[in-house]
Amino acid sequence: MKAVLILAVKSAWARRLTLGVTLCAIALASALLLAVERVRHDARQSFTQAVAGVDLVVGARSGSVQLMLHAVFHSGSATHNIRWESFAAIATHPAVDWAVPLSLGDSHRGFPVLGTTADYFERFRYADQRPLAFAGGQPFTTVFETVLGSAVAAELGYRVGDRITLTHGMETLGPEHADKFFAVVGVLAPTGTPVDRTVHVSLEAITALHLDWVGGAPLPGLTIPAEHVRKFDLHAKEITAALIGLKNRTEVFRLQRHINSYRGEPLMAVMPGVALDELWQTLGMIEQTLLAMSALVVVVGLAGLLATLLASLNERRRELAILRALGASPRDLFLMLTAEGLLVTTLGVVLGCGLLAGGSFFFAPLLQAHFGIILQWRMFAASEWALLAAILATGLLASLVPGWRAWRMSLADGLTPRN
């Protein structure tokens, strides 16, 4: 049997060009299927990891998913801001342990800028209740200071002591707040959450940047130099959203009701877990469709393998007759053909895994920047192993067909192949 397998490998090597093309098709198809599954899996993972210890996210009334995506993942945009008075009223509610205001809208070279208070660094939790840690420096204390997420610092090569300017809006080429420099006073340790890609400044800084701006453009003829901004009242009048922690988590529904029926302006409070569940439900259909389509691509790849093997079988009829004359049993020939198909499938899947690894290496930063999805550099998850096994099983099934044909052929041909 071992001898037959060695012959199968040698024979396959002799036809390496056609089999190589088939192998590449299988590799690409498996890589696609695995990538879809990995992005799906890691999207859930990274979204779930990104918020911990936050009981409610509060913002202007919109969709709960939209509010979550904007406040926590800094993607999309808020329809409205909420007034500072509303935030103050909620923050002082007896059930509230802590409240951190968030103000979004500016960016630095594509990285979102988050205006908040120094409390943020104390209160924010991710993954399994881990707090933020500083890789270097400290939280900001004055207006023109900033704390960078680890990825911002790493990708742009910033260190504590550097000076940066911010851009109005999320466009990389948007109007620049060119006259106001921020000193980098701290760099956070990596968290694997959107925090890594965020530029943190104080709420006062956001107000200061927009003193001489109206409706997204600098006021013509009016510039307020950085050294003069302190003369103005820099207290934020509006914020985008707020993160709330409760003294007692059982109060969450009561407070949520309270906020949702707040009379000052239309607000909404969402529980992160509930909002994420809603998101998964919305995405579920799309995920299933994508998975089904990639599975179909794998089936097409394996159908290509089947076609290649069946086509080669006719050319190899004489080869099979020779082996038969040398004493090979029909079973040997069945084994030889099936092994060839399985070999090509296995190598294809292995190459596919390599493509996936290489692909995630190249596309991980892109996915993280645009969608907040963090691709993990890791071994396969259970669902991915299941997919691999399914591909191999389907490959085996496809390989049984030429094996069976070779068996039938060898019985019909005997020692003299009919062409």
Partner 1 sequence: MADGAIQIRDLLFRWPRQPAPCLDIPELNIAAGEHVFLHGPSGSGKSTLLGLLGGVALPERGEIVLLGQPLTRLSGHARDRLRADSIGFLFQQFNLLPWLSAIDNVLLPCTFSARRKTRAGNARETAARLLTHLDLAAESWHKPAAELSVGQQQRVAAARALIGRPEILIADEPTSALDAPRQQIFVDLLLTEATAAGAALLFVSHDERLAAHFARKITLADINRAGVPAS
Residue 341 CB, nearest approach to partner 1 (Å):
18
Choosing from 74, 180, 200, 324, the residue that interacts with partner 1 (CB under 8 A) is 324
Determine contact, residues 296/36, Cβ cutoff 8 Å.
no
Q: Which of 267, 44, 244 is nearest to 124 (CA)?
A: 244
Determine contact, residues 103/239, Cβ cutoff 8 Å.
yes
Residue 1 interacts with partner 1 (CB under 8 A)?
Answer: no
Residue 9 interacts with partner 1 (CB under 8 A)?
Answer: no
Question: Would you say 269 or 328 has its CB closer to partner 1?
Answer: 328
Choosing from 17, 326, 379, 382, the residue that interacts with partner 1 (CB under 8 A) is 326
Residue 335 interacts with partner 1 (CB under 8 A)?
Answer: no
Residue 330 interacts with partner 1 (CB under 8 A)?
Answer: yes
Calpha distance 30→34 (Å, rounded): 6
Determine contact, residues 106/113, Cβ cutoff 8 Å.
yes
Residue 319 interacts with partner 1 (CB under 8 A)?
Answer: yes
Calpha distance 97→95 (Å, rounded): 7
Question: Would you say 4 or 118 has its CB closer to partner 1?
Answer: 4
Question: Would you say 215 or 327 has its CB closer to partner 1?
Answer: 327
Residue 400 CB, nearest approach to partner 1 (Å):
20
Number of neighbours of residue 287 by Cβ within 10 angstroms: 18
Residue 409 CB, nearest approach to partner 1 (Å):
12
Q: Cβ contacts of residue 64 below 8 Å, gap of 6+? A: 268, 270, 274, 275, 278
Calpha distance 280→276 (Å, rounded): 6
Choosing from 322, 357, 386, 389, the residue that interacts with partner 1 (CB under 8 A) is 322
Query: Among residue numbers 228 through 287, which ones bind partner 1 (CB under 8 A)?
Result: none
Cα separations in angstroms, 29 against 15, 301, 342: 21, 6, 16
Cα angle, residue 55 at apex, residues 93 and 69 outer, rounded to 5°: 115
Q: Which residue has the tokens 């994420």?
A: 276
Question: Would you say 67 or 323 has its CB closer to partner 1?
Answer: 323
Residue 419 interacts with partner 1 (CB under 8 A)?
Answer: no
Residue 308 interacts with partner 1 (CB under 8 A)?
Answer: no
Q: Residue 177: helix, strand or coil by DSSP?
A: strand
Question: Would you say 242 or 343 has its CB closer to partner 1?
Answer: 343
Question: Would you say 50 or 320 has its CB closer to partner 1?
Answer: 320
Cα Rg of the chain (Å, integer): 30
Residue 318 interacts with partner 1 (CB under 8 A)?
Answer: yes
Residue 404 CB, nearest approach to partner 1 (Å):
16
Determine contact, residues 39/242, Cβ cutoff 8 Å.
no
Residue 10 CB, nearest approach to partner 1 (Å):
6
Which residues are bridge partners to 166 per DSSP? 177
Phi first, then psi: what are they for 370, rounded to 5°? -90, -30
Calpha distance 180→216 (Å, rounded): 16
Residue 167 interacts with partner 1 (CB under 8 A)?
Answer: no
Residue 65 CB, nearest approach to partner 1 (Å):
60
Residue 17 interacts with partner 1 (CB under 8 A)?
Answer: no
Residue 327 interacts with partner 1 (CB under 8 A)?
Answer: yes
Q: Which stretch binds partner 1 (CB under 8 A): 36-44, 66-74, 219-227, 319-327?
A: 319-327
Q: Is 216 left (phi over 0), alpha (psi -120 to 50) or beta?
A: left
Residue 393 interacts with partner 1 (CB under 8 A)?
Answer: no
Residue 411 CB, nearest approach to partner 1 (Å):
8
Please give the residue ranges that form the binding site for partner 1 (CB under 8 A): 3-4, 6-7, 10-11, 13-14, 318-319, 322-332, 411, 414-416
